[in-house]
Structure 1
Amino acid sequence: MKKASFLIAFIALLFSSCCKENALIVQVNNPSALDRERESIEIKLDDIKNALEDKNDTACSFVVYDAQGLEIPSQLVLSSTPAVLLFQATVKAGDSCTYTIKKGEPMPYETMVQTTFMPRRKDDMSWENDKISFRMYGPALVTDPKEGMVSGGLDIWVKRTSKLVTQQWYQDEFDGKSTYHHDNGEGLDFYAVGTTLGAGALAPYVDDKLWLVGNNFVSYKILENGPIRTTFALEYETYDCNSKALSETRTISLDAGSHLNKFSVLYKGNDGEVIPVAAGFPFRGFEQKKPGKKELHSIDDCNSIAYDKTLGYVAYAEPEHAENGILFLGSLMPEGSDQALIGQGHVLNSSQATIGKEFVYYSGGGWSKGGFQDLAAWTAYMKDFALKLREPLKVNLKAACVN
């Protein structure tokens, strides 16, 4: 009996000496026919703590390693429900890859996304990643004596560098060194928003009319700010929508590597009421696919627009600028589009939103000097983005004890 007890104790001691720390093994499978590059993976914080037997640890400090044992950037996203650990995976079509999560202090990663409130530039809300940059207009612009404007439209700045550059562009403008409306070799702002929806903002579309938000955002909250994802919320005060009062909250997220923002729009008013909505871009030129005597003005007849009702995307090419090239814009309704049309001076992608419930869609853009040769290339990006949403990567978790 003593020999048996000694043997059990010896085996337990041997096992404990081999098992130096708990880990969570994350297997990421790609069942689709599309390669996935730098696709964001979210792991619930509770799942990580359970696997690492770390339920009561409030530090929430973890490190992610790839299959070669190299640390990769990760980000705790505490504003989401539930809280998650975020990292990005690259997986070939039909393949899988493995990542390991352990307790530890992550390295200081270089951020690939950034949101900045700009009171010096009339309360702009500016955000960017390694691919593209955007801004929304704040309250100071409304009362500015020179540029006073009410606009809930989405502005877009294009770039050909992976560096985060917009803060330097702003500073150079303030210092009189250069203007961000001129291409300095990194990119520029050559898009005109005005009082339109801009590069894909959303508005109620009731009785064939866009009911644009009647004010610039009045308050903001930055929820996450890198290194992989930036998220912030903008509040808009009550405005008129077909004789009904609406207000709204826009929560906007942008991940590293993406040309499209994720918008979660919450309309507040008569909760439960369903209203038609549309994301759109100002329409700035019609090139008919089949020129003829009869003037045609539908989506299907226009060379600069691509539309897929089932996948829910609209891809649009602005008229080519002689010096700055072509700006491509896109909107995506992940559950499918009701219709696309040219109306109210916009290219519109329509759907239905429920007041009191968040409505999720995507919008953004690309540039002919920043990776997209033509509308066909931009349309392919929009199509792939939609397909990836519909066939997400599959994640399997396994607790393990590792050396």
Structure 2
Amino acid sequence: MRYKYFKRALFAAGFFQLITLTACTKTNKHEEINIEIKNTLGFSRYEIISLQRNKLQPLLDKNDPKNIRIKEQGADQYLVTQWVDNDGDGKGDELLFQANVAANATAKYVIMLDTIQVAEPKAKTYSRFVPERIDDYAWENNKVAFRAYGPFAQQLVEEGKEGGTLSSGIDLWLKKVDYSIIDSWYKKNVANPGYYHIEHGEGYDPYHVGASRGTGGTGLWEKDSLQVSKNYVNYKTIATGPLRTVFELTYAPWSSYGVQEVKRISLDLDSNFSKFEISYRSNKMIPNYTVGITLHDKKGEVNINKPKGWFRHWEQIDSAFVGEGIVLSPKLIDTAFVHDSKTADQSNLLILTNPKDKITYYAGFAWTGSKQIRDVMDWDEMLDKQAKIIANPLEVKVIK
């Protein structure tokens, strides 16, 4: 009897200790940070929020950054998060998560500590250098995909060899699926050259860039002529996803002004627009820094909305339509116009700006084949919303 009583007592003590330990592992109120996110616009917004590391310091002092979790107040499930190391020192500088905020409303989120793993999402952002296709740099999310061209592709053209591309324009890949296609399309293209130029059910690449600006390529406008760079010479991948991909492309000095240009490009999940943050310098004053969209065969429609800061081209490609657009602060814009040229790939919609040494703009597209838009009115509405989003960022308040 004594032995049975002893076992019961020992079990009860162990059980009590287990409960105590379990309770101690839960986050207490001193290990939580509350976030309020305010949307001042008349439509709901589903956007990536960035929290700087210093705002999270109370949780980071004695804890692993990998154990930080975020959820909407009152919800059970944690959200997908992503640390971004911008300076390459091995520590995350900003923590990203995706917030859903209704029109003219405030959403509340809680940051806490937990070791529970959050499942990897199917839809994500992604980017990489692509040596199997000479030296492309490609990037995508669950809605759109882009690519730029590197130095060896330029060298092939300059040496008169096949397979190269000489262009600092931005190429578009028309995808209709929400999962990543970059690796798959390039792999299949190696086995079957030209694969991704043919529709196989996931989308394809019918978009021609050539020497044009594609969608979002830059240049300098002077004396009725556009001076442009050649291909990028170096790249740097900063983050691949799942919520935001970030990288930099560096260009050799170009134009008669010897412009030295670095493009920091990022793409968020669920956005149709890549963000271009461009730094440039020269020993001379640079006139008319220009961003453009190719007009291809000049059969498309153009909409120049300078007061709101958005510019659109709408064209038919094969049996569907593509809307391309650029959005930036109206304060940066000098003028915008259609440059009609008889030379192939030189007809562009051009936006002339006069920033000091940096400029930020958004360039993107939507394709009716993806069912994201139905017509040009949908595309104009998307551009109009993007302009409002830029002018009215979500207001984030950290409550410790």
- TM-score band, normalised by shorter chain: 0.7 to 0.9
Cα pair 1:313 1:332 within 8 Å, conserved:
yes
* SS across alignment from 1:168: helix
Counterpart residue type for residue 308 of structure 1: N
Q: For residue 208 of structure 1, what is the amino acid of its counterpart? A: D
3-state SS, counterpart of residue 275 of structure 1: coil
Q: CA deviation at 1:195?
A: 1.1
Aligned partner of 1:235 among 250, 253, 257: 250
Partner of 1:373: 374
Distance 1:39 1:18 in 2: 29
Report if the CA contact (8 A) 2:206-2:317 is conserved: no
Whole-Å separation in 1 of the counterparts to 2:152 and 2:235: 13
Counterpart AA for 2:324: L
Confirm whether residue 79 of structure 1 aligns to residue 92 of structure 2: no
TM-score under structure 1 length normalisation: 0.83
User: Quick check: 200-209 or 183-192, which moved more?
Assistant: 200-209
* Amino acid of the structure 1 residue aligned with 2:329: P
1:167 is displaced (CA, Å) by: 1.3
Q: Is the 8 A contact 2:132 2:186 kept in 1?
A: no
The 5 Å alignment of 1:92-111 reads: 92-105=102-115, 106-110=117-121
Q: What is the TM-score when the length of structure 2 is the normalising length?
A: 0.84
Q: Which runs of 5+ in 2 are unaligned?
A: 1-23, 340-345
Give 1:78 deviation, angstroms. 2.0
Change (3 A) 1:80 1:263: farther
Q: Aligned runs of 1:375-394 on 2, under 5 Å?
A: 375-394=376-395
Aligned partners of 1:345, 1:250: CA distance in 2, in Å?
A: 23
Choose which of 286, 294, 312 in structure 2 pairs with 1:315. 312
Matched, 1:209 2:225: yes
From 306, 326, 329, the counterpart of 1:331: 326
In the alignment, what sits opposite 2:360? Answer: 360
8 Å CA contact 1:46–1:55 kept in 2: the answer is no
Q: How many residues align?
A: 358
Percent pairwise identity: 26
Kept after mapping to 2: 8 A contact 1:115/1:230: yes
Aligned amino acid, residue 166 of structure 1: I
Q: Which runs of 5+ in 1 are unaligned?
A: 1-15, 288-302
Following TM superposition, by how much is the alpha carbon of 1:255 offset from its aligned partner in structure 2, in angstroms? 0.4
Provide Cα deviations, 1:293-331, integer angstroms capped at 9, x if missing partner.
Answer: xxxxxxxxxx7112211221101112x2343x1121001
Counterpart secondary structure, 1:262: strand
Greater relative contact order (Cα < 8 A, sep 6+): 1
Give runs of aligned pairs for residues 39-50 of structure 1, distance below 5 A. Answer: 39-50=47-58
The answer on 1:246 being equivalent to 2:246 is: no
Question: Conserved in 2, the CA contact under 8 Å of 1:277 and 1:351?
Answer: yes
1:170 alignment counterpart:
186
Classify the secondary structure of the residue corresponding to 1:376.
Answer: helix
* Residues 130 and 163 in structure 1, CA contact (< 8 A), matched pair in contact too: yes
SS of 2:206 mapped into structure 1: coil
Q: Is the 8 A contact 1:236 1:247 kept in 2?
A: yes
> How far off is 1:143 after superposition?
2.7
* Equivalent residues in 2 for 1:186-225, closer than 5 Å: 186-213=202-229, 215-225=230-240
Q: 1:17 to 1:378 in 2, by over 3 A?
A: closer
Instruction: Give the Cα separation in 2 of the matches to 1:17 and 1:191.
Output: 54
| CA positional deviation for 1:345 | 1.3
How far does residue 176 in structure 1 lie from its aligned partner after superposition? Answer: 2.1
Deviations 1:7-35 (A, max 9, x none): xxxxxxxxx99973511111111121121
1:110-157 CA distance string (max 9 Å, x none): 360111111110100011000000000011212332133321110000
Q: Give the whole-Å Cα distance in 1 for the aligned partners of 2:322 and 2:317.
A: 9
Residue type matched to 1:314 in 2? F
Give the number of the structure whose residues are more often helix, by fraction: 2
Q: Summarize deviations over 1:225-250 as a string: whole Å, max 9, x none.
A: 1010000001111122xx32112111
What secondary structure, in the 3-state scheme, does the structure 1 residue paired with 2:337 have? strand
Separation (CA, whole Å) in 2 of partners of 1:284 and 1:251: 26
Letter in 2 for 1:311: K
Shift of 1:349: 1.9
Higher deviation after alignment, 224-233 or 104-113: 104-113
What's the offset of the Cα at 1:334? 2.2
Q: Which residue of 1 aligns with 2:18?
A: none
Q: Aligned pair in 2 of structure 1 residues 166, 307: CA closer, same or farther (>3 Å)?
A: same
